[in-house]
């Protein structure tokens, strides 16, 4: 079987002489159905159905793929990058983002995906006009032309459709709510900016210090935040409070048990609980409470 | 900045005698300068010092030697649009009394990750020269430059009177660099940090402002993610009574904003933090009152997570607003409509496409004075769900806002007819940037290329300065552009054109063209070389993923020694293609700091 080079909508080279309007005049042809989606290895899209078996699965699996040079003299064909210079090449810190709606099975956030293009033909079988499978659209480096800051920020998934409780997964941001028993309002922290539990806990201590000061008065030396760090550490690591989180399964867990990366991948929100309320937590949490009192 | 006249020796001391090439008076050795130049130098300098526009100043400097000298001594601000077009030494030699520098570095497509890391545009060589030449430098505005923490520290410690720093789309530094600025710049009036590729190591930099600092006028840290100490911020705001611009980051809550605004009712530009809070400690009416007490507010931005719950608190301030930046607020049409009814004076509006066409109808209905509209996509990579705005939203705005001059519009469908209508409704366009997000997409109704759309723009809008095209385009688009757009200065092209002719049309027309940036188009060496005589009158040309080869670039480089023709090598490929080409005029010669992957031919 010879592999015939196809352009993105599944037409062979021979047909590329046709003007683009011929193609687009085919009203049954759903352009979306013939589009290519690229993703990280092991990356599953919930919308994807098993179509054309191997070809699509390979693409989903992030196998190396290339795009033929479809530049020709025909008018209006949409043009991919040229040989060896495809903009689909890996660019360091290139911003090829996978669809932000897709579930990420890996721990951590969706980082920029890499798409490699050695000039190989695309293994794409010709789509039938009646195909009703929404095939993925190919994403090109630097397109649409949106600056990185905006891309990173909007990838947090700010649309109203997302549940308030959903951790907003995106590259660069992972905001989760943090509540503290007795505090009048909640805070939100971006887990992405911390690199360890220590980082996180000192940040939380600073954030919530104003609520504990009322209860404990002015003991010890004061920092700018109003309460000495050592005093705070005592409070939070002492018998009064435990730091817990709700994971993806809806269970409340003690912060600190799992590796950091796993934690930020599964944490939906956090709660600084009075340890007296921490009954019914994972046994280790309860044991920890008992040890403290 | 215009190319320096190399025949004029910048080191020449100021001389009273006029030394012009004058065909009438070639035999005259010395010349009574008052005959042709009736002003003494001091008067001339004083008059010229009132001229701010750098274009005017360039014109002034070309009149005669006297004026050239008077201009160079009176210039306080220098604008360098391409940091490699000139060297810091040349600048320092020509302009001895600079207090303010604006410097732009990387090609604009670096914003979209098309320029590899470590490409260049390092600010440090500039700072080294300025430390000696301009020890009294007060202002530095950098765009797309590589800036390190060391450079920021150098800046902070070597320029005693330094006042204003603005960093836009720069990269390479961290909040540690900001600490240095905050610590050492005792007379700081402006710190404007906007959307940089920087490392945010924490908000401690804000604590580095000394208690003695009271001169701050502009503070923008909206794009920094880390939380700052609210206590420090509040104290800083309360003692800097001249503060006119304050843009905080998302971590600042509504409660905190309330406190800040009570301290700073004099603000003219405000960037809020998050506009959603589960439990707010003060009544909403308090917030509303606070906003109504900010009588000078003309710009509001931020408004992260804003909903109809808290948005009404800004209504009292809306009546005077001229610029509303909602591009980080995921509003729906209803919320926007309610808001805009209060915003009759609006001149500039930035939105997310979550407002939909219906939201844009509200824009057309309530903002008759609108001059600038930018609509950004909330989810640019969204494949499955059809969201956002269409051609009909754009048409609605054009019907209600005839004064539109500047539009940036991201959409997923467009028609030639709609754009023709828009052009008719808004003939004053100076900036028309249309991004149909699917590359090479035709008119979705007629299936024709979008040639006629851009044709109608260039034919109907005589003042067009900047154009960005998209959709399926043949060479005809470029024929129109070359033929009709007499004032076009900047053109951005992607996934368009059919042959070399396209680019040739543009290079053959467009007398005012300064910046041409092209990606993924079928333009080859013929097209590249057709601009041989034009590139020296332009700032720069960018071509990536086109059909240009190394040979073509070599020919260009050979024919035009005053251009730098740079090719960025690509991994893979056989080395004969010129994958990324950046051509620009320069008086500084080839770059000496080019990384290995940049070849100057």
The pTM of this model reads: 0.69
Average pLDDT, stretch B341-354?
A: 96
Task: Select the residue from B107, B377, B383, B542 to test the A interface by mutation, using most A Cβ atoms within 10 A.
Answer: B383
The per-residue pLDDT for A118 is 37
What is the number of CB-based contacts under 8 A between chain A and chain B? 193
CA A272, CA A255: separation in Å to the nearest integer? 10
Mean pLDDT for B521-550 is: 95
Residue A102 has pLDDT above 80, yes or no: no
Rounded to 5 degrees, what angle do the CA atoms B526, B532, B535 make?
A: 120
Q: Which two tokens stand for residue B108?
A: 């604009």
pLDDT at A88: 37
> Looking at the partner chain, which of B117, B231, B255 has a beta carbon nearest the beta carbon of A224?
B231
Cis peptide before A144 (omega within 30 of 0): yes
A147 at the B interface (CB within 8 A)? yes
Average pLDDT, chain A: 54
Give the residue from chain B lying closest to A35, CA to CA.
Answer: B383
Please list every residue in chain A whose beta carbon sits closer than 8 Å to the beta carbon of residue B208: none
Statement: residue A169 has pLDDT above 50: no
How do residues B157-171 score in pLDDT, each as one tens digit? Answer: 999 999 999 999 999
| CA A132 and chain centroid, separation | 27
- Name the nearest CA neighbour of A103 among A64, A157, A141: A157
Binning pLDDT at 50, 70 and 90, where does residue A173 land? low
- How close does chain A come to B330, measured CA to CA in Å? 6
Q: Which residue of A has its CA nearest to B576?
A: A84
pLDDT at position B8 over 60: no
Q: What is the mean pLDDT of residues A92-104?
A: 35
Which pLDDT does position A4 carry in this prediction?
47
Token reading at A221: 């030396």
pLDDT tier, A165 (very low <50, low <70, confident <90, very high otherwise): very low
Mean pLDDT of B537-542: 96
Identify which of B333, B350, B276 has the alpha carbon closest to the alpha carbon of residue B307: B276
Let me know: does B95 contact A128? Beta carbons within 8 Å. no
pLDDT above 70: residue A17: no
A contacts of B253 (beta carbons < 8 Å): 185
Nearest CA in chain A to B499: A73
Task: Provide CB contacts within 8 A for A171, sequence distance 6+.
Answer: A97, A109, A110, A111, A112, A152, A155
- Please report which confidence band the pLDDT of residue A262 belongs to, taking 50, 70 and 90 as the band edges: confident
pLDDT value at A266 more than 90: no
- Residue A190 CA to chain centroid, in angstroms? 13
Q: Of the given ranges (A190-204, B10-24, B84-98, B580-594), which has the lowest mean pLDDT?
A: B10-24
pLDDT of residue A143: 92
For residue B32, pLDDT over 60 is answered with no
The pLDDT of A53-67, averaged and rounded, is: 35
With beta carbons under 8 A apart, name residues in chain B contacting A137. 383, 438
**b/e burial code for range B340-376 (CB count within 10 A of at least 16 → b):** bebbeebbbbbbbbbbbbbbbbbbbbbbeebbbbbbb
Sequence-separated (6 or more) residues with CB below 8 Å from residue B273: B248, B249, B250, B251, B252, B253, B254, B256, B257, B302, B304
CB-CB under 8 Å, A145 with B449: no
pLDDT band at B1 (very low <50, low <70, confident <90, very high): very low
Interface contact flag, A24 B447, Cβ < 8 Å: yes
- At A268 the pLDDT is 85
Give CA B179 to chain center in angstroms. 26
pLDDT tens-digit series, residues B357-389: 999 999 999 999 999 999 999 988 775 556 789
In the predicted model, what is the mean pLDDT of residues B414-439? Answer: 97
pLDDT tens per residue, range A226-235: 444 445 455 5
pLDDT at A280: 56
> In which element (H, E) is residue B373 found?
strand B372-376
The pLDDT assigned to B435 comes to 97
The pLDDT of residue B361 is 97
Between residues A292 and B585, the one the model is more confident about: B585
Q: Report chain B's mean pLDDT, rounded to a whole number.
A: 91
> Is the confidence at residue B34, as pLDDT, over 90?
no
pLDDT at A161: 35
Return the higher-pLDDT residue of B244 and B596: B244
pLDDT for the residue A73? 34
> What's the farthest any 2 CA atoms get from each other in chain A?
82
Pairwise CB contact (< 8 Å): A224 & B111:
no
Residues B300 and B320: their CA atoms lie apart, in Å, by 11
Collect all residues of chain A within an 8 Å Cβ-Cβ radius of residue B330.
Answer: 158-160
Say which residue, A182 or B222, is predicted with more confidence: B222
Cβ <8 Å between B472 and A20? yes
Question: What is the DSSP track for B550-596?
Answer: HHHHHHHHHH-TTEEEEEE--SSS-S-B--EEEEEE-SS-S-SS--T
* Range in A57-71, B27-41, B245-259 the model is least confident about: A57-71
**A162-176, B454-468, B473-487: which has the minimum mean pLDDT?**
A162-176
Which DSSP state fits B228?
P
Whether the predicted pLDDT of B312 surpasses 60: yes
% of chain B surpassing 90 pLDDT: 82
pLDDT at A187: 82
B525 or A74, greater pLDDT: B525
Distance CA A202, CA A179 (A): 15
Query: Comparing A85-89, B245-249, B262-266, B363-367, which segment has the lowest mean pLDDT?
Result: A85-89
Query: Does the beta-carbon distance from B197 to A148 stay under 8 Å?
Result: yes
CB-CB: which of B117, B253, B498 is closest to A73? B498
The 10s digit of each residue's pLDDT in A118-127 is 333 333 333 3
Report how far residue B208's alpha carbon sits from residue B211's, in angstroms, rounded to the nearest whole number. 9
Q: Check CB contact of A10 with chain B, cutoff 8 Å.
A: no
Q: Convert the pLDDT of each residue in B35-82 to its tens digit.
A: 566 678 788 888 888 888 888 998 998 999 988 988 999 899 999 999
Best of B380, B382, B479 to disrupt the A interface (most A CBs within 10 Å) is: B380
Q: Please report which confidence band the pLDDT of residue A281 belongs to, taking 50, 70 and 90 as the band edges.
A: low
A185, A204 Cβ separation under 8 angstroms = no
What's the complex ipTM? 0.86
């Amino acid at each position: 079987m010879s592999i015939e080079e196809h352009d993105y909508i599944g037409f062979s080279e021979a047909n590329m002489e046709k003007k683009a309007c011929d193609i687009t005049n085919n009203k049954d042809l759903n352009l979306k159905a013939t589009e290519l989606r690229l993703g990280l290895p092991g990356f599953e899209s919930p919308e994807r159905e098993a179509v054309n078996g191997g070809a699509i699965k390979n693409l989903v699996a992030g196998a190396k793929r290339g795009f033929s040079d479809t530049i020709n003299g025909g008018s209006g064909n949409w043009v991919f990058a040229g040989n060896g210079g495809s903009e689909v090449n890996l660019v360091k810190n290139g911003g090829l983002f996978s669809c932000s709606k897709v579930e990420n099975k890996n721990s951590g956030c969706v980082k920029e995906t890499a798409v490699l293009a050695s000039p190989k033909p695309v293994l794409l079988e010709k789509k039938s006009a009646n195909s009703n499978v929404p095939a993925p659209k190919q994403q090109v480096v630097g397109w649409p032309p949106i600056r990185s800051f905006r891309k990173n920020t909007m990838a947090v998934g700010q649309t109203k459709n997302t549940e308030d409780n959903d951790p907003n997964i995106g590259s660069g941001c992972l905001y989760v709510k943090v509540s503290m028993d007795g505090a009048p309002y909640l805070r939100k922290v971006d887990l992405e900016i911390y690199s360890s539990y220590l980082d996180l806990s000192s940040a939380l201590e600073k954030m919530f210090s104003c609520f504990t000061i009322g209860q404990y008065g002015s003991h010890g030396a004061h920092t700018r935040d109003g309460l000495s760090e050592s005093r705070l550490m005592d409070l939070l690591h002492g018998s009064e409070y435990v730091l817990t989180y709700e994971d993806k399964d809806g269970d409340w867990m003690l912060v600190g048990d799992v590796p950091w990366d796993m934690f930020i991948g599964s944490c939906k929100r956090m709660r600084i609980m009075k340890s007296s309320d921490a009954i019914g937590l994972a046994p280790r949490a309860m044991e920890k409470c008992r040890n403290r009192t | 900045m215009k190319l320096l006249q190399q025949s004029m020796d910048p080191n020449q001391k100021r001389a009273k005698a006029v030394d012009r090439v004058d065909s009438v008076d070639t035999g005259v050795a010395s010349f009574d300068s008052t005959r042709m130049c009736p002003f003494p130098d001091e008067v001339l300098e004083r008059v010229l010092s009132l001229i701010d526009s750098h274009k005017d100043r360039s014109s002034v400097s070309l009149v005669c030697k006297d004026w050239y000298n008077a201009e160079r001594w009176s210039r306080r601000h220098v604008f360098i649009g391409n940091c490699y077009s000139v060297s810091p030494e040349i600048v320092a030699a020509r302009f001895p009394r600079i207090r303010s520098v604006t410097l732009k570095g990387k090609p604009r497509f670096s914003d979209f990750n098309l320029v590899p890391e470590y490409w260049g545009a390092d600010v440090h060589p500039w700072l080294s020269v300025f430390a000696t030449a301009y020890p009294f430098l007060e202002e530095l505005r950098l765009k797309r430059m590589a800036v390190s923490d060391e450079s920021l520290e150098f800046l902070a410690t070597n320029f005693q009177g330094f006042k204003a720093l603005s960093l836009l789309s720069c990269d390479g530094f961290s909040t540690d660099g900001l600490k240095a600025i905050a610590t050492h710049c005792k007379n700081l009036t402006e710190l404007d940090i906007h959307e940089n590729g920087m490392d945010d190591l924490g908000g401690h930099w804000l604590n580095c402002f000394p208690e003695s600092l009271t001169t701050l006028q502009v503070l923008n840290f909206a794009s920094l993610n880390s939380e700052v100490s609210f206590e420090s911020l509040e104290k800083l705001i309360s003692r800097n009574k001249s503060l006119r611009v304050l843009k905080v980051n998302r971590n600042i809550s509504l409660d905190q904003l309330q406190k800040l605004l009570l301290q700073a009712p004099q603000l003219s530009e405000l960037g809020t933090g998050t506009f959603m809070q589960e439990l707010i400690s003060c009544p909403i009416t308090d917030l509303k009152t606070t906003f109504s007490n900010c009588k000078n507010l003309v710009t509001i931005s931020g408004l992260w997570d804003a909903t109809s719950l808290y948005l009404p608190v800004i209504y009292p301030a809306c009546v005077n607003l001229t610029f509303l930046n909602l591009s980080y607020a995921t509003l729906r049409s209803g919320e926007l409509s309610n808001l805009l009814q209060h915003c009759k004076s609006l001149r500039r509006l930035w939105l997310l496409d979550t407002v939909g066409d219906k939201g844009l109808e509200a824009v057309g209905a309530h903002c008759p004075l609108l001059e600038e509209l930018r609509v950004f996509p909330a989810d640019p990579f969204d494949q499955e769900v059809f969201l956002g705005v269409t051609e009909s939203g754009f048409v609605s705005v054009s019907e209600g806002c005839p004064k539109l001059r500047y539009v940036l519009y991201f959409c997923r469908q467009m028609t030639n007819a709609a754009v023709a209508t828009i052009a008719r409704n808004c003939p004053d366009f100076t900036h028309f940037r249309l991004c149909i997000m699917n590359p090479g997409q035709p008119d979705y109704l007629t299936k024709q290329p979008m040639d006629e759309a851009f044709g109608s723009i260039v034919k109907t809008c005589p003042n067009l300065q900047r154009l960005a095209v998209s959709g399926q385009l043949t060479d005809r688009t470029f024929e129109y552009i070359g033929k009709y757009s007499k004032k076009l200065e900047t053109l951005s092209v992607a996934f368009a054109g059919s042959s070399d002719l396209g680019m040739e049309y543009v290079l053959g027309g467009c007398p005012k063209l300064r910046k041409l940036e092209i990606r993924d188009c079928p333009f080859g060496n013929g097209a590249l070389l057709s601009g041989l005589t034009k590139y020296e009158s332009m700032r720069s040309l960018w071509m990536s993923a086109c059909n240009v080869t190394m040979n073509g670039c070599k020919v260009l480089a050979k024919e035009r020694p005053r251009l730098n023709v740079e090719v960025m090598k690509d991994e893979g490929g056989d080395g004969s293609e010129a994958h990324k080409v950046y051509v620009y005029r320069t008086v500084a010669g080839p770059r000496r700091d080019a990384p290995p992957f940049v070849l100057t031919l």
